[in-house]
Amino acid sequence: MAGATRSARARVTGHWQVALLTGLLFVVYSVYGLTRQATYLTAGYDLGIFDQAVRNYARFRAPEVPLKGAHYNILADHFHPIIALAAPLYWIWNSPSVLLVLQMALIAASVPVVYAFALRRTPRGGALVVAAAYGLSWAIQAMVDFDFHEVAWGVPILAVAVDALDRRDDRTLLVSAGLLMLVREDMGAVLVMIGLLRLAWRPRRTGYLLIGGGLAGYLLVTALIIPAFAPNGRFVYWTFDALGPDLPHALWTIVAHPVHTVRLIFTPSIKAETLAYFFLPLALLPLRSRYSLIALPLLAERFFNSRDHLWTTHFHYNALPYLVLVLAMVDGGARLGVWRKPVLNRLMLAWLVIVPVYLSTVANITAPVIRRILNGSAWRVDAHLRDQQAAVRQVPHDVCVSVDDRLATHLVTTNRVTLPGISTPRTDYVVLDMGQQEVGYLLPTPQQVLADSRAAGFVQVFSQGDLLVLRSPDYTGPSSQCRP
């Protein structure tokens, strides 16, 4: 009786501890995200884009995004209808900041799932360490340090899917699989891999459903749904030139040319470096688990891609594969007996504590959340920030404005906002930061935009530091056409 009481007390204590960990991560990361917005570190690409889309969903309108172009429907970009679930939040708080807080909530929601998965293989203390190491990992911090993105929805949903697969809970697995297909079209490849793993035990119909649903979903979305919304009538995110022009050619290249395929994964060297960040902090233990195969399509999408910025430790794309690899690490460690052997268990848990601390405070990688909090730079105000704030204050409400990407999220709540160089029916104001190299990714320099604006008759109405505000010669006042 006494033993049962102690066991129940331990379970309750564990639940309180993981709840506290989850709450702390949510609060700390939310405060950090809000300070990024307050200090003008967010941008139109991507926070402003999703703000415009979700705000339109909240008003029961098509998710048009002026930041991408005139009458541009966001479903022409990627298939992520799940973002519409954020619409009710805009009825409470009409601000892009709500998406930053939502992203932190989605990240935090995955922590108890990681804990529950680990608890089936490790002692309670070990499961807590694993959950904390995951929540403080460089990959999660990379997502926290980036603007809102649809893949944030995939973090808790994929965690639930892998956990359900591990528990052989087909109902939860199928529900989470369906939700994953609403996160992004490439989740179809993840479902195929999960389905292949599910074929390992009977009844196998769930595995076949996952494989068929993943393939059919990807092909349906990329061949029909996205092209139906796209201005050019096609899916533009097939960027795997080294493999072929489409999925069938890519699969054939992988099978017919394995040496070429392997070389693509590891070269140039930045790819090998990023892979090291995925596997070395987890002591290579994911390689012993079949669950690591679920991360394979996510990693392949990164390293086969022609867009070189996807090869790095930057951005939010790291979170999904790292989540899977953390779960695979727990499973791989159990298969090798790491958690049952006291010495190995202590060494591994110590490693899981040391690595996030080192990467968060010392290592020079793009996951500076903890470091920026500790040194105070997360909320530091400088002269340039004051200039940005002053420039934004010069823009009236309900006007059509073309702005530098770094300023867009501070005007989307009150105006119809786009970037210079993006098609738009009208422009009332132009706001430029002359200290930037370009007004947005792959867009003109501010000097070019300034010259074009002056040639069109725009008049400078504000100048402070590097910030300029120009007004159209045809401007007659706020307009209902320019409401957000």
245 in a structural domain: no
Q: Average pLDDT for residues 86-112, to the nearest whole number?
A: 98
Domain containing residue 466: 383-482
467 in a structural domain: yes
Q: Which helix (H) or strand (E) holds 327?
A: helix 319-335
The answer on 45 and 133 residing in a single domain is: yes
Domain total for the chain?
A: 2
pLDDT of residue 5: 45
The answer on 203 and 279 residing in a single domain is: yes
Domain endpoint, select from 374, 409, 438: 374
Residue in the structure block whose two tokens are 């999904």: 320
Q: Average pLDDT for residues 424-446, to the nearest whole number?
A: 94
Q: Is the pLDDT of residue 2 over 60?
A: no
243 in a structural domain: no
Domain endpoint, select from 318, 352, 374: 374
The answer on 361 and 321 residing in a single domain is: yes
Q: Half-sphere exposure of residue 179, counting CA atoms within 13 Å on the CB side?
A: 21
Q: SS3 for 392?
A: helix
255 in a structural domain: no
The answer on 426 and 294 residing in a single domain is: no
pLDDT of residue 14: 60
Please list, residue by residue across 291-321, b when 16 or more beta carbons sit within 10 angstroms of its beta carbon and e when fewer do: bbebbebbbbbbbbbeeeebbbbbbbbbbbb
Mean pLDDT (the chain, rounded):
93
pLDDT of residue 367: 59
The answer on 463 and 363 residing in a single domain is: no
260 in a structural domain: no
Give residue 7's pLDDT band: very low, low, confident or very high (50, 70, 90): very low
250 in a structural domain: no
Domain endpoint, select from 309, 343, 374: 374
Q: Is the pLDDT of residue 207 over 70?
A: yes
The answer on 341 and 449 residing in a single domain is: no
The answer on 305 and 406 residing in a single domain is: no
